[in-house]
Amino acid sequence: MAYPIFATSQVLEVGPTNNYYVAGIKDANGHLAAATTQYDLLPSGLLLPRQVDQNGIPLTASRVTTQITDAPLAASAPYEQAWQDSEALAVTFVGGSVYADQAGTLYIDFSNDDTNTAGTSATSLAFTPASAGTPDSNMLPYPVEIPTRYFRFRYVNGSTAQSVFQLYQTPMAQWSPRTVGLSGSLVPQLGWNKYIGTYSVTFAASAAAATVETVAVPIPADVQKDALYLVSVNNPTALATSVTVTFNNGVKFGGSTTDYSEVTSVDVASGAVKSYLVQGWLLGDAAAQISVSNDAAASSTGGSVQFEVTMV
């Protein structure tokens, strides 16, 4: 028996990625079976039923690569894309690639109001063709999460005028890195290792024992502050003393002044390199969150203790 199928556009929940339509089948006895299906509301007003891939990652029409400019830039000239509305596009990540014949740098800017820049992604693309003057291509190492409503690409050309320049952008609703398992099947990988930076503290020549120095490790706006970070510490032999590294938690106790209380400390011998897993909240608020003290007087030349930080 063929049953009439009908659909209405009754909206049960409002929002560009949280809308539903109701569909039902009515049999000859007037019984109704109804269900809700999520859809994406595109800027054009088109409603697309949401689909997902085999890993549960949404597939939407937003995951389309577009050439956003092909106008060559003069020496040291910038290109700034108009602000893109991530909510209207229903996207949370963006990737991109460059095709050009001269060196330059691609940046991703973020904004809360499509007027003022709130920050710039720590992930950028320093592009250099294999041979200057010969067009070449490269792409961002991985899609960048969009932490604000608005985003844009910004490209700054190098010191030589371009003859060829094409900039491509790929907004996407979601992105999850994949790794290949031992069986050859795709395995969802929800995180990725991201190098944050290298930092150091310097002890002056013959610095007295228990001298305290602090180091700042800023967490970029486009990575998880509550993630785990691998902090590697290199205590050079030249310093001639072990050091104590202390990770502190910044608290205000309801006031305006931040106090730093010890969470954990580790001892790194002279000439040793050690690595520790540290929660991101203990890294990014202020320099005082990581303090280093020398266990004995520094050598007559002093030295610098180095830190390398990677999000894991």
Please work out, in degrees rounded to the nearest 5, the angle formed at the alpha carbon of residue 239 by the alpha carbons of 233 and 240: 110
**Cα separation, 288 vs 281, whole angstroms:** 13
Amino acid letter for position 3: Y
Lowest mean pLDDT among 119-133, 179-193, 201-215: 179-193
Domain range 66-172, CATH class: mainly beta
**Cα separation, 145 vs 95, whole angstroms:** 9
Top mean pLDDT of 32-41, 44-53, 57-66, 104-113 is at: 104-113
Under DSSP, is residue 237 helix (H, G, I), strand (E, B) or coil? helix
**Cα separation, 75 vs 134, whole angstroms:** 16
Residue 240: predicted pLDDT:
94
Closest CA to 169 of 82, 67, 93, 91: 67
Query: For the chain, which residues make up each domain, given as ranges?
Result: 5-49, 66-172, 194-311
Q: Is it true that 66-172 and 194-311 share their CATH fold?
A: yes
Fold of 194-311: Jelly Rolls (2.60.120)
Strand partners, 48: 40
Determine how many CB atoms are found less than 10 A away from the CB of residue 262. 10
Confidence of residue 222 (pLDDT cuts 50, 70, 90): low
Segment 237-261, tens digit of pLDDT = 999 999 999 887 777 777 777 777 7
Segment 133-169, tens digit of pLDDT = 898 888 887 788 898 999 999 999 999 999 999 999 9
